[in-house]
């Protein structure tokens, strides 16, 4: 291991403490309970902001995972706070599953059942169970899995539908966010169902779960992966491709998450297949995703060839993890060199030394977008915490 790469790993271990300190200090909502819904670019609290399920499940996962990694109960109160808030305000006690959004008082605002959100609840609850050993947390995770298998899984065409009304009936607008295409099936949602099922399998080894996870791996190998070594993003019910966009961050994140899913099944043949795929995806990523300054760009449209050169915070750290996996498989020193370049860019331009936390994104010149928040529905400590943990090992 080079001296520079060892420094990268040591610095990420230190950054884990910085991230946990930020969210412990500025994330707690002492007035209304749980966690604040929004802080702006300058880290100023946005009063009475609504609270999203993605932010709250990611907080629960991040502090639980960090506690498990550190073998510490320092953040036990935050883990318990996150779990209690989810159970009290986001859990749909009538139709099961979790709501998408509540107001600052915890009253439901958006009761739709986004499969992406159910997956993150499973992911967070599985990790929290490993920390707390609370059987009710594991039982809730299992019940959410059963919900997805009952209502969301497409037994005929395979995969999972994107979203439903509160009572799990079909909904015409299935978009995860305003930026997304209204598609019946998406790579992003399937990725996080795969991630959630991989995590759940650690605490609930059941054949039904194994079969579902195996099907997801096969979908990533043969439906999402295209001939250009990218993962296609948006599909209709019958798997006709609807989009022409490449998401560089999702490519590199998927490469290593699918390997972990195969490992969880303890299937050597599947592990080998996913590792071979990962190397192809990672090598393509290095050719296409990195800009001249070493940073990871956002996406490219293959139809128009338009390149979005903004540097979002999360693809940088997913690249560090993916390249670490690639290096472990090939010993290719280029993976290490590129990782160091990504981290140097991140330290200089994405970590906000003035206001704390990380910028959501910066432009090609490293200038931050000041309309982006430090805390929001989509700005949470999950990607960064996970990278710090996995890179420090």
Domain ranges of the chain: 3-392
Distance, C-alpha 53 to centroid of its chain: 13
Distance, C-alpha 210 to centroid of its chain: 21
Q: What element of type H or E holds 258?
A: helix 248-264
| Cβ-based neighbours of 76, under 8 Å, separated by 6 or more | 67, 131
| Cβ-based neighbours of 373, under 8 Å, separated by 6 or more | 38, 39, 40, 41, 46, 360, 379
Residue 303 has what pLDDT?
A: 97
| Cβ-based neighbours of 197, under 8 Å, separated by 6 or more | 122, 145, 209, 212, 213, 216, 261
**Cβ atoms < 10 Å from Cβ of 225:** 21
- What is the Cα–Cα distance from 302 to 312, expressed in whole angstroms? 20
Residue 3 has what pLDDT?
A: 84
Residue 103 has what pLDDT?
A: 98
Whether 389 contacts 56, CB under 8 Å: no
Burial 161-171 (b: 16+ CB within 10 A, else e): bbbbebebeeb
| Cβ-based neighbours of 344, under 8 Å, separated by 6 or more | 294
The three-point CA angle 204-55-84 to 5° equals 60
Coil/strand/helix, residue 77 = helix
Whether 39 contacts 101, CB under 8 Å: no
pTM over 0.85: yes
Residue 329, judged by CB atoms within 10 A of its CB (0-12, 13-18, 19+), counts as middle
pLDDT in tens, the chain (393 residues): 688 999 999 999 999 999 999 999 999 999 999 999 999 999 999 999 999 999 999 999 999 999 999 999 999 999 999 999 999 999 999 999 999 999 999 999 999 999 999 999 999 999 999 999 999 999 999 999 999 999 999 999 999 999 999 999 999 999 998 888 999 999 999 999 999 999 999 999 999 999 999 999 999 999 999 999 999 999 999 999 999 999 999 999 999 999 999 999 999 999 999 999 999 999 999 999 999 999 999 999 999 999 999 999 999 999 999 999 999 999 999 999 999 999 999 999 999 999 999 999 999 999 999 999 999 999 999 999 999 999 998
Give the right CATH number for 3-392 from 3.40.1390.20, 3.30.2020.30, 1.50.10.10, 3.40.50.10160. 1.50.10.10
Residue 179 has what pLDDT?
A: 84
Residue 1 has what pLDDT?
A: 67
């Amino acid at each position: 291991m080079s001296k520079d790469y060892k420094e990268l790993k040591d610095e990420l271990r230190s950054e884990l403490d910085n991230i946990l300190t930020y969210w412990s200090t500025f994330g707690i909502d002492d007035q209304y309970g749980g966690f604040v819904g929004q802080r702006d670019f300058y880290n100023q609290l946005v009063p009475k902001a609504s609270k999203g399920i993605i932010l709250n499940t990611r907080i629960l996962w991040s502090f639980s995972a960090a506690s498990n990694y550190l073998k510490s109960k320092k953040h036990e109160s935050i883990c318990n706070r996150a779990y209690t808030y989810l159970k009290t305000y986001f859990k749909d006690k009538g139709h099961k599953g979790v709501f998408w959004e509540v107001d600052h008082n915890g009253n439901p605002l958006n009761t739709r059942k986004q499969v992406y959100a159910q997956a993150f609840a499973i992911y967070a609850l599985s990790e929290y169970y490993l920390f707390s050993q609370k059987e009710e947390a594991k039982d809730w995770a299992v019940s959410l899995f059963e919900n997805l298998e009952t209502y969301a899984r497409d037994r005929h065409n395979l995969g999972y539908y994107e979203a439903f009304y509160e009572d799990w009936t079909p909904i015409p607008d299935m978009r995860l966010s305003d930026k997304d295409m209204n598609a019946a099936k998406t790579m992003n949602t399937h990725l996080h169902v795969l991630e959630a099922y991989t995590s759940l399998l650690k605490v609930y080894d059941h054949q039904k779960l194994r079969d579902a996870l195996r099907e997801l791996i096969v979908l990533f190998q043969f439906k999402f992966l295209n001939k250009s070594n990218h993962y296609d993003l948006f599909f209709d019910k019958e798997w006709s491709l609807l989009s022409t966009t490449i998401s560089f961050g999702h490519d590199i994140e998927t490469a290593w998450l699918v390997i972990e899913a195969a490992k969880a099944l303890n299937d050597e043949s599947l592990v080998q297949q996913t590792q071979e795929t990962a190397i192809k995806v990672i090598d393509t990523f290095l050719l296409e995703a990195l800009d001249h300054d070493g940073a990871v760009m956002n996406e490219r449209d293959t139809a128009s060839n338009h390149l979005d050169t903004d540097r979002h915070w999360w693809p940088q750290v997913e690249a560090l993890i993916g390249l670490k996996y690639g290096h472990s498989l090939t010993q290719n020193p280029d993976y290490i060199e590129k990782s160091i370049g990504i981290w140097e860019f991140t330290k200089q331009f994405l970590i906000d030394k003035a206001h704390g936390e990380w910028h959501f994104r910066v432009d090609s010149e490293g200038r931050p977008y000041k309309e982006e928040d430090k805390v929001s529905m989509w700005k949470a400590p999950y990607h960064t915490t996970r990278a710090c943990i996995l890179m420090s090992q």
